[in-house]
Amino acid sequence: MLAALGCEPVDAAVVPDPMPDPGEWALSGPGGPQVSFAADALDLPCAALTGGPEDVEHHNLVGLFDGWLVLPWAPESGGGGVSLYEFDDPCAPVKIGEAYSAIMRESHTLAIAEVGGRTLLAVDMHIDEKHGGIGFWDLTDPTAPTWLSQLELPGYDYPDAYFRVALSTFWQGDRLYVSAGFLGVFVVDVSDPEAPVILDNFTEVAFLAGSFHVIGNLALASSAGLLKTMTIDIGDPDDWQRLATWETADATGKLHPYYFATVGGRYALFARKDTGGGPMVYDLSDPSLPTLVGGAENPDADGGYVYRHHDLLFQGESNFGSRYDFSDPAAPVEVARIDIAGDFDTLTPIGNVAVASVDEGADPGLATVVFPWDAEPDSRGPTAELTNPADGAVWIPVTGRVGLSFDELVEAQSVHAGSFRVWDQRGHAIPGRFYAQEHIVNFVPDGLEPDTTYFVEVPAGGIADVSGNPTTAALRFSFATGSTVAARPW
């Protein structure tokens, strides 16, 4: 292993600083689904989730945060809101809070972070055809969300819903990354979310920027409806380095555009469009050389969004929603199909149910519908398949962050100093902040030192999925800001 090469010994007398217990966290809400279902109830609708009276039934991704289900609802042209639900009994959800903003626009990700004791959600924003960008909801009191602030992006141009508008957001530390089509990726300082400031605009993305996922110092920039994808080293926030650029294809080399991309574990997942549907899968283990693993062709589909839950993929296919067996990532196989009226783009796995959402043409009150897919509550914890820095990595900049990518959606509140532990080679605990978005967890240190080795441990019983199931096996790795990695203290 790289960690064993050129290593410097650690004084055996060094005892790492104690950390909190990995299970030392709690939820404000009741958490994810905890009920069982009869076999004849599977893959059938059991409940609907609705927005407020202004809801025009344009829905997208939902997610759990701090034990509450968060449901954004807004059309591309603006005017929408956010609703929060108790979701431990998903077929009898209870709405506990809701708010509307005339300038909220459709969002495609759930960038939620805790800043200064407040829980904030970053969304897209639209004022008029020449003015728009991003906005922030304060969800600290889930029973009474409030609109906090907004930031206009230069070059914003609507009515086109893709070319020059904010499409998605990703939160890591004091930086919010905003994918904005042909405008590129904006980097926004959100240290004061009441007064966000644009720091930079990465315009070298030579395609329609649809999403930007960050795992530690690794970014995946992907398009909205086209072919190109890019991996970038952003360890030095002022000097990004492109690692690889490629176009999505099948095993024969035939190119296929995709509608949207996500990251699940070690894989970049693309929802194929225009040439049929189905997922396309790339391995990010070597981010300088992403490798096609495989995919599935669904000829009567047209992909929307794809999310992973262990050995399954859930994909909105526009015409219906599909569940794929992902036990062999090289050959996903469709195992179930569900349908609701409308443009069915999003199918989100939440424990043993999937939440189907359409963004156009829904039957009244049925833009988001809950479908049980497994008889028993989820009992399997998440597994981290990808770390950045990689184990044994050297010359990590002192501005670097530490990221993990899991094989299912994770609960952000479970990520803390006891479940994501970082020490230096002297055994001192490294202070910092923690962030979780969908499958990805990030630790942002207060600062790293030069020529120092850092040890990372995710203990068993720590980071949990949205159903509250923690990791079952410990993960340990190390990296250095100098030329060598010291021997591990364990």
Q: What is the residue extent of each domain of the chain?
A: 1-30+380-490, 45-372
CATH architecture of 45-372: 7 Propeller (2.130)
Q: Residue 189 contacts by C-beta under 8 Å, 6 or more apart in sequence? A: 174, 175, 196, 197, 198, 199
Q: What's the average model confidence in pLDDT over 25-35? A: 96
- The better pLDDT of the pair 15, 448 is held by 448
Q: Does domain 1-30+380-490 have CATH number 2.30.30.90?
A: no
Sheet of 432-437, strands arranged across:
384-388, 402-406, 440-445, 432-437
| Burial group, residue 152, by CB count within 10 angstroms (0-12, 13-18, 19+) | middle
Average pLDDT of the residues of the chain: 94
Tens of pLDDT, residue by residue over 189-206, are 999 999 999 999 999 865
Whether 436 shows a pLDDT value over 90: the answer reads yes
- CA–CA separation, 231 and 55 (whole Å): 37
Q: Name the DSSP letter for residue 182.
A: T
Asked whether the beta carbons of 115 and 190 are under 8 A apart, the reply is yes
Q: What is the three-class DSSP state of 65?
A: strand
Quote the tokens at residue 175: 């930086």
- CA–CA separation, 308 and 438 (whole Å): 10
Q: What's the average model confidence in pLDDT over 23-47? A: 97
Whether 8 shows a pLDDT value over 80: the answer reads no
Nearest in space to 386 (alpha carbons), one of 293, 268, 302, 228: 268
Asked whether the beta carbons of 317 and 304 are under 8 A apart, the reply is yes
pLDDT above 90 covers what percent of the chain?
Answer: 93
Per-residue confidence (pLDDT) for residue 206, from 0 to 100 = 57
Listed range (9-18, 164-173, 247-256, 329-338) with the worst mean pLDDT: 9-18
Q: Tell me phi and psi for residue 2, to 5 degrees.
A: -60, -35
> Bridge-partner residues for 231, per DSSP?
220, 244
Asked whether the beta carbons of 324 and 312 are under 8 A apart, the reply is yes
Whether 435 shows a pLDDT value over 90: the answer reads yes
- Which amino acid, one-letter code, is at 419? S
Whether 224 shows a pLDDT value over 60: the answer reads yes
Whether 3 shows a pLDDT value over 50: the answer reads no
- The better pLDDT of the pair 15, 53 is held by 53
Per-residue confidence (pLDDT) for residue 120, from 0 to 100 = 98
Whether 9 shows a pLDDT value over 50: the answer reads no
Tens of pLDDT, residue by residue over 267-316, are 999 999 999 999 999 999 999 999 999 999 999 999 999 999 999 999 99
Asked whether the beta carbons of 393 and 78 are under 8 A apart, the reply is no
Q: How far is CA 316 from the centre of its chain?
A: 16
- CA–CA separation, 378 and 183 (whole Å): 41
pLDDT above 70 covers what percent of the chain?
Answer: 97
Per-residue confidence (pLDDT) for residue 13, from 0 to 100 = 59
Whether 1 shows a pLDDT value over 60: the answer reads no
Q: How confident is the model at residue 162 (pLDDT cuts 50, 70, 90)?
A: confident
Whether 10 shows a pLDDT value over 90: the answer reads no
Q: What's the average model confidence in pLDDT over 88-104? A: 98
